[in-house]
Structure 1
Amino acid sequence: MPTISVTSQSVGDVTADVLVLPVLTGADGADASVPASPELSAAAVAIGATGSREQLHRLPALPALGLAGTGSVVLVGVGAPSLADASAEDLRRAYGAATRSLTGIASAAIAAPGADAASLAAAIEGAAIGAYSFIAHRSEASDPKPALAALEVLAGDVPEPEAAASASRAAVLAEAVAIARDLVNTPPNLLFPASFAVRAQELVADLPIEIEVLDETALLEGGYGGIMGVGQGSARPPRLVRLSYSPAASTQHVALVGKGITFDTGGISLKPGAGMDEMTSDMAGAATVLAATVAAARLGVETKVTTFLAIAENMPGGGAQRPGDVVTMRNGRTVEVLNTDAEGRMVMADALVDAVAAQPDLVMDVATLTGAAVVALGTRTAGVLGTEQGRSAVLEAAERTGEPFWPLPFPEELRATLNGRVADLRNIGERPGGALSAGVFLSEFVGETEWAHLDIAGPAFASSAAGYSGKGATGMSVRTVLQVIEDRAS
């Protein structure tokens, strides 16, 4: 992520390789315009800019434009006739699209002439999150282009200290999103249960977060049948990572659980080969809750957070569990494994038992849990299930962060489809309503605790770039989970 600084300089005085400015749509048939710059407004019209959402144009900063210290200017549409009419998410996506386009550029400045503090904060946040590029495994032969290195924010009409506070928060949010993206984008031969646990230890080393890692011996002794069953087909055994952030002034306690399947072949119930490479993203839930915990500590949020990363690799090795096996879960419940590709709910259930035992005020679990959620909601919207209060907490937070979530129900009739033939439960229900029955299964391990289940199977990994997210890992839901934690503090 870029270093972010704030300046009171004007658009004409700032020095940067690139300057990013908004383009407004024309009102009542008028031409598109750039706020406070007749010269740039004329240039925007000349090159066909309309101000539509995320429309990008880059042009040289010719002397006639009055941008002596700038090499070029990026004009980005915000989809509104004024900055006041643009939503916070429109501004995040617009400025994020602009910085995402600037890989290989050393420095850029962003300005939102006439914006109030809230609009400027949204623009900074989007720009910071959009400045991301994953090039860790590219050689010089492919000419890798790093993300934008430095971002300067023109405060404009916003008092500089207020703009600086927004920039500081944006830097933490962007770092958290980048943590999740980096973890998900890391190839599965390099990120496996043990190395994921090590990475978690490294990320919290300088923070007031305690961490404990349970290896396969501890998991076996502790009765974590779900995690051990999923991981037993891999040569790389599973892990359960527990993190605890306990600020002295906290009065609320949130427990987080993340699905951490570092690669999912489906096990014996093998997935089709096409698209299986994207199953490197099946640990996005664990990446999300780890990143949100790190961000909460960096921001000093006064909410206690206990986080569980349920990490395993689902492989069809000689020791893999079979359809028809029965496993005993952490709480003593028995489950018939009818489909080894329904593995996420098995590792999550064990971790949920521990999360509930910590007696939090709210449990949130995050998982790329079901393909059925993608069928129902598409690739950009996540589903949220749970208790009424838990679900509402997520939806209210998501409204502020701009991350799209949609509430899903718990139909009573689906519970009967999970009754086991020879055990207490089966790990799949009938095919219709698959995302819902997966949630119903998890609810059996939550009891009466306030709870929200976030199924991010669609938006966690993108096949095309949009707004502040490029191809691959998106980091979607990190900011919403963090916002829920912050809401509990207030």
Structure 2
Amino acid sequence: MSTEVKIIFANDAIVSSNGAVKQFAANQTAGHSSVFIGETHYIVVKVCKEASLEKVRVTAGNIARDVSAQKVGTAVIEEATLTNAFANLNKGAVLTAFVEGWQLGAYQFVTYKSAVTAFQTTLQVTGDEAQAFVEAGEIRAEAMAFSRDLMNELSNVLNPETFPEVLKKNFEGTGVEVNVLDKDKLEQLEMNGVLTVGRGSMYKPSFVELVYKGDASKPLVALVGKGVTFDTGGISLKSGKDLSDMRMDMGGAAAVSGALTLLAKSQAQVNVVALIPIVENNIDRTSVLPGEVITYKNGLTVQVGNTDAEGRLILADALLRAGEWKAEYIVDIATLTGAIANALGTELAGVFGDEELSADMKKIGDQNGDYVWPMPLVEAYDKTLDSDYADMNNISSLTGAGSITAALFLRRFVPKESKWLHVDMAGLMSKSSASGYYAKSATGYGARLLADFTTHVSK
């Protein structure tokens, strides 16, 4: 196997000047294949006509996974070769997207595979103007990969007590301030949702605040991420053949952690705080029981109708905390409801809240690959959260519209002065097979979406 490959496209001069390779390229469908011209190993890529930045990322990811599996040492592509192939797109954006897709396409989480060592073919982009865009792509990929690593990690390794330490290490030297609120502090701050959900776990709950002031004069954006490091469902026990993926129920926390990583390492001119309530929803003699009532700091009371609807109980505390920070914009993200996957499937998340901002977020996701679809807050459903024992129940009396009623529940804890969005990413925790720049593992969804959205509202 060759130690180096060169990446060319089916319309490149080197293809046109070689009869055999020209015929090879002409017969090739969209995708890539290996071919030797003399002793030189080439990857010949054919691009479909409907080119987009996501297509650039997907193309790069597929090639990277292929050549990395073959243990090719280096892949070389010329800046002009790449940008000419996607001539309808911005040149700098193409370079960044290709590098981003390349780095993520070869991603592996093999920590617990004793006979496997992660390998990634090094990408070399040649050209005088490429470096800044290459570095941007590497930073974006690194942030998303960090989110993936968090989601893939085992729940006995990443738990409410160790998660804060992982974040401290990740943000060393980045300009991000990491504040950890332990159980005693949670009690002082009356974060009773977090304390109640975490009661049945051997791990004490925690709450992490990540503060980044790239430009303190900009409006404060609060990014709130659900951090349930494992979700058994509690007393309302989940059923299923394999609940291993429930370690990924902290996908929202992973998303905001990745977003802060991207913003800080890009030295973005933003003012942002990430708020991460961290619990394990487990079963013990001290676990919260259905029917118990939680009193929140703002005086609202919530009957726990179902202990498996725990995410909204801890997010409520975080939304109230965002109000204490006086955030102008609040975006919460969570693997919140199976209902959103029933509605939208596994390729895009649902976004609720401010309609104008929802539309903006959709445009951002269409560009960066973290797709969202605006969803309605149906006022008629709000009353289905009524409780006979408290101000509200944490589940609706409806049999459907679960993602909408969950969003309506959260809305009751949003500060009136803030513009708010809620992203339900439950259908996007992981991929069932490797394709494009996704591995068969956690997606890292949301890191790019939140970072780019924060930059957008800070302009």
TM-score (norm 1): 0.86
**Given the alignment of the two structures, is residue 192 of structure 1 paired with residue 159 of structure 2, yes or no?**
yes
Counterpart code for 2:427: G
**Given the alignment of the two structures, is residue 124 of structure 1 paired with residue 92 of structure 2, yes or no?**
no
Alignment length, in residue pairs?
A: 446
CA positional deviation for 1:194? 1.1
Counterpart of 2:134 in structure 1 is 167
Q: State which of 390, 397, 409 in structure 2 corresponds to 1:423.
A: 390
Counterpart of 2:315 in structure 1 is 348
* 8 A Cα contact 1:260 1:309, kept in partner: yes
Counterpart of 1:471 in structure 2 is 440
CA positional deviation for 1:254? 0.8
**In the TM superposition, what are the counterparts of 1:308-457 in structure 2 within 5 Å?**
308-429=275-396, 430-448=398-416, 449-457=418-426
- Residues 360-419 of structure 1, C-alpha deviations (whole Å, 9 max, x = no match): 221111111110011001111111111123323322321221322111000011100111
Q: 1:19 to 1:317 in 2, by over 3 A?
A: farther
Counterpart of 1:297 in structure 2 is 264
For residues 405 and 45 of structure 1, what CA distance do their matches in structure 2 show? 41
Q: 1:267 to 1:166 in 2, by over 3 A?
A: same
For residues 295 and 448 of structure 2, what CA distance do their matches in structure 1 show? 35
CA RMSD of aligned residues (A): 2.1
For residues 216 and 185 of structure 2, what CA distance do their matches in structure 1 show? 33
Counterpart of 2:124 in structure 1 is 152
For residues 45 and 421 of structure 1, what CA distance do their matches in structure 2 show? 74
* 8 A Cα contact 1:108 1:148, kept in partner: no
For residues 172 and 97 of structure 1, what CA distance do their matches in structure 2 show? 20
- Residues 290-340 of structure 1, C-alpha deviations (whole Å, 9 max, x = no match): 111121111111110111111111111121111111112232311111111
For residues 77 and 362 of structure 1, what CA distance do their matches in structure 2 show? 43
- Residues 427-448 of structure 1, C-alpha deviations (whole Å, 9 max, x = no match): 0112310011111101011032
Structure 2: segments with no counterpart, 5+ residues? none
For residues 314 and 291 of structure 1, what CA distance do their matches in structure 2 show? 23
Percent identity between the two aligned chains: 35
Counterpart of 2:51 in structure 1 is 86
For residues 117 and 44 of structure 2, what CA distance do their matches in structure 1 show? 21
Q: 1:39 to 1:99 in 2, by over 3 A?
A: farther
**Given the alignment of the two structures, is residue 271 of structure 1 paired with residue 238 of structure 2, yes or no?**
yes
CA positional deviation for 1:123? 2.0
Q: 1:355 to 1:249 in 2, by over 3 A?
A: closer
- Residues 161-202 of structure 1, C-alpha deviations (whole Å, 9 max, x = no match): 2x2111010011011001000011111111111111110111
For residues 399 and 35 of structure 1, what CA distance do their matches in structure 2 show? 33
**Given the alignment of the two structures, is residue 135 of structure 1 paired with residue 103 of structure 2, yes or no?**
no
Q: 1:41 to 1:343 in 2, by over 3 A?
A: farther
Counterpart of 2:209 in structure 1 is 242
For residues 241 and 420 of structure 2, what CA distance do their matches in structure 1 show? 35
* 8 A Cα contact 1:394 1:452, kept in partner: no
For residues 149 and 9 of structure 2, what CA distance do their matches in structure 1 show? 29
* 8 A Cα contact 2:95 2:137, kept in partner: no
CA positional deviation for 1:34? 5.4
For residues 74 and 44 of structure 1, what CA distance do their matches in structure 2 show? 13
* 8 A Cα contact 1:105 1:147, kept in partner: no
Counterpart code for 2:411: S
* 8 A Cα contact 1:20 1:98, kept in partner: no
Counterpart of 1:181 in structure 2 is 148
Q: 1:342 to 1:354 in 2, by over 3 A?
A: same
* 8 A Cα contact 1:34 1:41, kept in partner: no
TM-score (norm 2): 0.92
For residues 19 and 163 of structure 2, what CA distance do their matches in structure 1 show? 50
For residues 109 and 147 of structure 1, what CA distance do their matches in structure 2 show? 17
Classify the secondary structure of the residue corresponding to 2:451: helix
CA positional deviation for 1:57? 2.5
Q: State which of 57, 71, 82 in structure 1 corresponds to 2:33.
A: 57
Counterpart code for 1:38: S
CA positional deviation for 1:36? 5.0
For residues 368 and 19 of structure 2, what CA distance do their matches in structure 1 show? 31
Classify the secondary structure of the residue corresponding to 1:310: strand
* 8 A Cα contact 1:177 1:478, kept in partner: yes
Counterpart code for 1:343: E
For residues 371 and 141 of structure 2, what CA distance do their matches in structure 1 show? 18
* 8 A Cα contact 1:76 1:95, kept in partner: no
Q: State which of 427, 431, 438 in structure 2 corresponds to 1:462.
A: 431
CA positional deviation for 1:252? 2.1
CA positional deviation for 1:120? 3.1
Counterpart of 2:7 in structure 1 is 20
* 8 A Cα contact 1:334 1:425, kept in partner: yes
CA positional deviation for 1:45? 4.8
Classify the secondary structure of the residue corresponding to 1:458: helix
Q: 1:474 to 1:39 in 2, by over 3 A?
A: farther
Q: State which of 234, 242, 250 in structure 2 corresponds to 1:283.
A: 250
Classify the secondary structure of the residue corresponding to 2:421: strand
CA positional deviation for 1:20? 3.2
CA positional deviation for 1:209? 1.4
| Residues 399-408 or 411-420, more deviating | 399-408
For residues 217 and 177 of structure 1, what CA distance do their matches in structure 2 show? 32
* 8 A Cα contact 1:301 1:489, kept in partner: no
